[in-house]
Amino acid sequence: METEIFKLSGIASETTANFVARVLQEVSGVSHVQIDIGCQKAVVAFDGNKTSRQELLATLKRAGFSVAGMRSLDLGAGGGCCGGGCR
């Protein structure tokens, strides 16, 4: 299982956050999505044998979201769901 954090712009409400989560959960191999409205981040756990970071990025862009950055998360490193807080 891999985890990727996407820094997004335009997530201003629960409705938008739910839409982003639903779009990402429709991708084959995605097992968990957590959206943080305050940090404007989507944390996505996925099976790297079924999908890729690039496919998740393309999915977000097709849904109309601008991705300001992305990084992999090592869950063994600690720091909570977004790897050490909102940055």
Cross-strand partners of 7? 41, 69
The fold for domain 2-77 equals Alpha-Beta Plaits (3.30.70)
Give me the torsion for CA of 44, 9, 26, 3, rounded to 10°. -10
CB atoms within 10 A of CB 36: 17
Q: What pLDDT, on a 0 to 100 scale, did the predictor assign at position 20?
A: 96
Residue 78: per-residue pLDDT: 52
Local confidence pLDDT in tens for the 87 residues of the chain: 999 999 998 888 999 999 999 999 999 999 999 999 999 999 999 999 999 999 999 999 999 999 988 888 776 555 455 555 554
Residue 69: per-residue pLDDT: 87
Structure tokens at 33: 């999505």
Query: Could you tell me the CA-to-CA distances from 70 to 15, 65 in Å, in that order?
Result: 22, 13
